[in-house]
């Protein structure tokens, strides 16, 4: 599809996460389609890759929830739209969505939002804050779970579209991973490539709802019941940084120490090569205690042919076929997570490989990045027909 328009994406920061990766993927797609991609953000580790992909980064404090800053950002965005002849604004978070909405309405250009999460609206202030996301000319939900949550709170009518986040099947491809990349990842984790350890990987920032504590307690249970399949060579890798949650990370380390699991559980920080990280492991965990709106871990790991054990709620119910391409366990239950891990260990290498192959096939059919990109560009195109940005 040709799309020779200028799109401004607005996102608080470009560090790590599903919204950030989608912003990067859409930047590449817009440029490849003949358009121009501009990203307004406070910055982050992915900004260099955005620019290498042909995007332009415009730094501004769009992550702030301060009403005065939001108003000031609206002015900054209007100036940027006029200068760069922007045709469409796409907001990917709540606070910057208000600034983007004000700019788009003032300049009469299309406004798109994407719900990368199912936001809670317990208070009147939260409901008002969230409402900017429901005011897009097109409102994108990253899963059916997210779409249902939006409809419960807002009247979005036929403006709502479900466009699941996808995995790039070329990047997340087990056949495309150079063994040297795997070796470097394992070396960074303090593991030896040919070590017989069974490796479990839990990717995600160290925050209290990603399920690290549940995973720690599950490993402790397995250690107390070696007949369930756990061995002294099992390793659990936590790949992700604390991103301001230092207190939680410290408490997690203390819990590991209390249980005597220091040798089995590794805190390795942020990983820059997730395809190789998935390739280096045997089982992937996503035991979030709150529902993931989509959950890119299940899709990316599945695309890599890995078995994923996830919490039985949120987007995981859509991306994992329980018992066929992965396993779902009750949220917050260390007992069920331990049982699921033991079950997948018992499958053996050949059984895990077969389940992983089914996972990749399902991801290719339903959750590819190409499908997500094409659907988003189609939404852009539909809005831009008959409309032109101010010059």
What confidence score (pLDDT) does residue 245 get?
Answer: 66
* Four-CA torsion 70, 75, 80, 82, nearest 10 degrees: 140
Query: What pLDDT, on a 0 to 100 scale, did the predictor assign at position 92?
Result: 95
- Which CATH architecture is the domain 174-366 placed in? 3-Layer(aba) Sandwich (3.40)
pTM: 0.85
pLDDT of residue 391: 34
60 DSSP 8-state letter: -
pLDDT at 389 (0 to 100):
41
Instruction: Identify the DSSP state of 272.
Output: S
Assign 230 a pLDDT band (cuts: 50, 70, 90): low
Q: Which two tokens stand for residue 284?
A: 């992937």
Query: Cα separation of 239 and 231, whole Å?
Result: 21
Fold matches, 6-166+369-384 and 174-366: yes
Alpha carbons within 13 angstroms on the beta-carbon side of residue 283 total: 31
Q: What is the mean pLDDT of residues 314-332?
A: 96
The DSSP 8-state label assigned to residue 204 in this structure reads S
- Of 207, 211, 209, which is closest to residue 236 (Cα–Cα)? 211
Q: Which tens digit of pLDDT belongs to each residue from 90-134?
A: 999 988 999 999 999 999 999 999 998 777 766 777 777 789 999
- In this prediction, residues 320-334 reach a mean pLDDT of 97
Q: Say which residue the tokens 């250009």 belong to.
A: 109
Burial of 254 (0-12, 13-18, 19+ CB in 10 A): exposed
Q: Could you say which DSSP state residue 330 is in?
A: -
Residue reference for tokens 């608080």: 12
CATH number of 6-166+369-384: 3.40.50.2000
Q: Which of 71, 133, 131, 80 has the alpha carbon at shortest distance from 102? A: 71
pLDDT, residue 15, reads 86
- DSSP string over 60-89: --TT---HHHHHHHHHHHHHHHHHHT--EE
The residue ranges of every structural domain in the chain are 6-166+369-384, 174-366
9-18, 77-86, 284-293, range with the lowest pLDDT: 9-18
Contacts (Cβ under 8 Å, ≥6 apart) of 147? 141, 160, 162
Residues 6+ apart with CB under 8 A from 324: 355, 358
pLDDT in tens, 353-368: 999 999 999 999 999 9
88 — phi, psi (to 5°)? -155, 140
pLDDT at 194: 64
Q: What is the pLDDT of residue 123?
A: 72
Q: Which of 109, 34, 113, 124 is nearest to 78 (CA)?
A: 109
Q: How many whole angstroms separate alpha carbon 118 and alpha carbon 115?
A: 7
Return the bridge partners of 303, or none: none
CB-based contact 180:219 (threshold 8 Å):
no
DSSP-assigned letters across all residues of 15-57: SSSHHHHHHHHHHHHHHHTT-EEEEEES--TTHHHHHHTT-EE
The percent of residues in the chain predicted with pLDDT above 70, rounded, is 94
Contact 15, 43 (CB under 8 A): no
| CA 207, chain centre distance (Å) | 14
Terminal-residue alpha carbon distance, the chain = 25
3, burial (CB in 10 Å: exposed 0-12, middle 13-18, buried 19+): buried
Task: For residue 386, report the phi and psi dihedrals to the nearest 5 degrees.
Answer: 80, 0
């Amino acid at each position: 599809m040709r799309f020779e328009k200028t799109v401004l994406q607005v996102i608080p920061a470009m560090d790590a996460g599903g919204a950030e990766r989608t912003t990067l993927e859409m930047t590449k797609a817009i440029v490849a389609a003949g358009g121009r991609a501009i990203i307004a953000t406070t910055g982050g580790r992915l900004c260099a890759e955005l620019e290498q992909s042909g995007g332009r980064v415009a730094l501004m404090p769009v992550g702030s929830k301060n009403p005065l800053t939001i108003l000031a950002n609206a002015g900054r965005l209007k100036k940027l739209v006029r200068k760069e002849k922007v045709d469409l604004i796409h907001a990917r978070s709540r606070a910057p969505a208000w600034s983007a909405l004000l700019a788009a309405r003032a300049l009469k250009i299309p406004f798109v939002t994407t719900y990368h999460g199912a936001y809670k609206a317990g208070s009147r202030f939260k409901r008002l804050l969230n409402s900017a996301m429901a005011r897009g000319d097109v409102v994108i939900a990253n899963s059916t779970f997210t779409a249902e949550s939006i409809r419960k709170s807002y009247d979005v009518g036929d403006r709502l579209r479900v466009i699941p986040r996808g995995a790039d099947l070329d990047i997340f491809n087990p056949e495309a991973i150079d063994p040297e990349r795997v070796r470097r990842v394992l070396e960074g984790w303090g593991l030896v490539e040919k070590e017989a350890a069974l490796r479990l990987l839990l990717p995600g920032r160290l925050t209290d709802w990603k399920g690290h504590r549940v995973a720690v307690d599950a490993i402790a249970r397995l250690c107390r019941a070696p007949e369930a399949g756990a061995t002294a060579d099992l390793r659990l890798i936590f790949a992700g940084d604390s991103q301001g949650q230092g207190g939680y990370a410290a408490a997690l380390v203390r819990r590991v120490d209390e249980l005597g699991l220091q040798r089995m559980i590794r805190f390795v920080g942020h990983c820059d090569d997730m395809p190789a990280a998935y390739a280096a492991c045997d089982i992937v965990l996503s035991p979030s205690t709150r529902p993931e709106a989509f959950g890119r871990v299940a899709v990316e790991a599945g695309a890599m042919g890995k078995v994923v054990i996830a919490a039985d709620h949120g987007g995981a119910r859509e991306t994992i076929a329980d018992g066929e391409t992965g396993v779902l366990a009750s949220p917050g239950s260390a007992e069920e997570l331990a049982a699921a891990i033991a079950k997948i260990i018992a499958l053996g290498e050949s059984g895990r490989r077969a389940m992983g192959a089914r996972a990749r096939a399902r991801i290719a059919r339903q959750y590819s990045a190409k499908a997500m990109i094409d659907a988003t560009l189609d939404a852009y195109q539909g809005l831009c027909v008959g409309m032109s940005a101010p010059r």
